[in-house]
Structure formats: C-alpha cells, structure tokens
Chain A
Amino acid sequence: GESVGLHLPTLSVQEGDNSIINCAYSNSASDYFIWYKQESGKGPQFIIDIRSNMDKRQGQRVTVLLNKTVKHLSLQIAATQPGDSAVYFCAESFNDYKLSFGAGTTVTVRA
C-alpha cells in the first residue's frame, strides 16, 4: 500500500476561512516532505516543502506543519480564495530519488 495518505478525500471551505489539509505518513525514516496543488488537467504545482529537521515552515498564505512523533503533515491555507480550489497532494521522500504520493484531497471553495 501507499506510505503517504490524506485523511479526507474532499474538503469544502467557505471563501475567506482558513483551510487545513491533513496527511499521514508511515515511514519514520522520511526526511523530506512536499505539498503540491493540481488544478484540473494540469501538472502539479509546488506549494511548499519541509525537511525533517523542522516542524513548521511558512510561505505566502500557506503553512506546513510536521509532527514526526505521530507522523503527520498538514497544510494550512489562510483566507482561502476561489483560486485555491484544486486537488492537494502531499509527498514524502526517504533519502533517495523517490517521492511517494498520496491520493490527494479535493478542496472546493464556496462563495
């Protein structure tokens, strides 16, 4: 089975609210994590990444949290906008070339 997965396949969010997308991973040796956003019919777009020596990293309107104790990763999006509607994937890497992807969470922003 997949080593990386997301807790919920879909998430509906009111415009302006904050979004939290969760991801669980099973390999405690994973040392690099990354979030991608994929719009329909397009390739994944890099959002933010984090290495295992950190527990939090912030970008523009996004924050990634890493909890190695429970092997959990989350992506927080502040003030969610209609353009944030997409499928969000987390991926992990454990010291080699491979990125292992979860199935994704579809985020729908309600006006």
Chain B
Amino acid sequence: DGGITQSPKYLFRKEGQNVTLSCEQNLNHDAMYWYRQDPGQGLRLIYYSQIVNDFQKGDIAEGYSVSREKKESFPLTVTSAQKNPTAFYLCASSEGGDGTDTQYFGPGTRLTVL
C-alpha cells in the first residue's frame, strides 16, 4: 500500500519544548515538502527537499528545522523559537522537485502547544 504517512495524527506539547513530526513515503519520490495550515487559510511552505541530503527554506522557515538523511523520510522539528506553533502540519512528496510534478499529501499532524 503506497503513500505518505505522518505521525502522530494529534500532538500536544508544552510551550518551550521542541517537537518532531514524522513524514515517511514509499512512493520513491525524490522531493518532499512541509506545509503549515492555519484555520481558514491555504497552505504555506516551510521547507522542501529536492533530493537526499539537501533541503531549502520555504516561505516561513523561521523556528523550524528539517533533515533528509533518507529518501523516504523528511522529519520536521518545531523548535521553541517558533512563536505560534499550533497548526495543522502537512507533508507532501513529488517525483521531482521542479514544481511541475504533482505533489501528493499525507494525512497531516495537528499540533497543539499548551
């Protein structure tokens, strides 16, 4: 069963704590992406990776960090420097990273910082 998985579905953390969101894909896609979605809004790009061991900042990278050590995995860390981390986080992947390949999304992780 191919696809993109994100875990956990819901995550609660205390203010000031770092938290890591998992994203795994078995589609053999080269490119992976992290987006943030706030209520009633569209998606905003946090980080993206076009190939293993390489990644670039998106539009709202401040307070986040990523790694891409394996092709199938692209974890996102929400650090204590992120001022408003409560949001719905979506991971996506595409065959290539040139912007014209369809991006497929995972089910999302809803992070709530208490």
Distance A103 CA – B44 CA, assembled complex (angstroms): 10
Assess whether A104 is in contact with B99, with CB atoms less than 8 Å apart: no
Task: Assess whether B105 is in contact with A44, with CB atoms less than 8 Å apart.
Answer: yes
Is A95 at the interface (CB under 8 A from chain B)? yes
A98 contacts the other chain (Cβ, under 8 Å)? yes
Contact partners of A98 in chain B: CB under 8 A = 45, 58, 99
Main secondary structure of the interface of A (DSSP, over half): loop
CA–CA, A97 and B103, complex, Å: 10
Which residues in chain B, 1-47, are within 8 Å of chain A measured between CB atoms? 4, 6, 31, 33, 40-45
Min CB–CB distance B12 → chain A (angstroms): 16
Q: Is A72 an interface residue (CB 8 A)?
A: no
Q: Is the CB of A93 within 8 A of B106?
A: no
Residues of A within 8 A of B44 (CB): 101
Residue in A41, A94, A99 whose CB lies within 8 Å of B108: A41
Check: A45 CB closer than 8 A to any chain B CB: yes
Q: What's the least CB distance linking B38 to chain A, in Å?
A: 10
CA of A96 to CA of B42 in the docked complex: distance in angstroms? 19
A96 to B94 alpha-carbon distance, docked (Å): 13
Tell me the smallest distance from the CB of B44 to a CB of chain A, in Å: 8
- How many Å from the CB of B53 to the closest CB on chain A? 16
Q: Which residue of B lies closest to A30 (CB)?
A: B99
A83 part of interface (Cβ distance < 8 Å): no
Of A34, A41, A43, A89, which is in contact with the most chain B CB atoms at under 10 Å from its CB? Answer: A43
Residues of A near any B CB (own CB < 8 A): 2, 4, 31-32, 34, 36, 41-46, 49, 51, 89, 91, 93-99, 101-104
Contact residues of B with A, CB < 8 Å? Answer: 4, 6, 31, 33, 40-45, 48, 50, 56, 58, 90, 92, 97-100, 102-108, 110
